[in-house]
Amino acid sequence: MDASVPAALRCARCGGAVDGTLHTRSGYVVGYYVLHTGSTEEAAVRRRDDEAPITYRRVLQPLDVVSCPRCFAAPEVRRLWLAFGDQP
């Protein structure tokens, strides 16, 4: 395989290959959904010396979770995606 050609995206749940979103004159058909996630750590930044630091989560190891439209429509998958990031 040519290194310049990206690997096909696959659904993390069913393993099926996914296509990009198809745009037409009257609408569109979603090809896949992506959740951008990964391991994080707390970090802080100050814009000026006299400002309080702003705390945020810095992504250390990015990970994309891909879902095909069929799996994304499943109630248990939707619940997981909607609850993502909620603290226990």
- On the 0-12 / 13-18 / 19+ scale of CB atoms within 10 A, 68 is buried
- pLDDT for res 86: 58
Q: Which residue would you say has higher pLDDT here, 49 or 62? A: 62
- pLDDT for res 5: 42
Encode pLDDT of 17-52 as tens digits: 999 899 999 999 999 998 888 888 999 998 887 788
Is the pLDDT at 3 greater than 60? The verdict is no
- Does this model's pTM top 0.75? My answer is no
Q: In this structure, how many other beta carbons lie within 10 angstroms of the beta carbon of residue 32?
A: 19
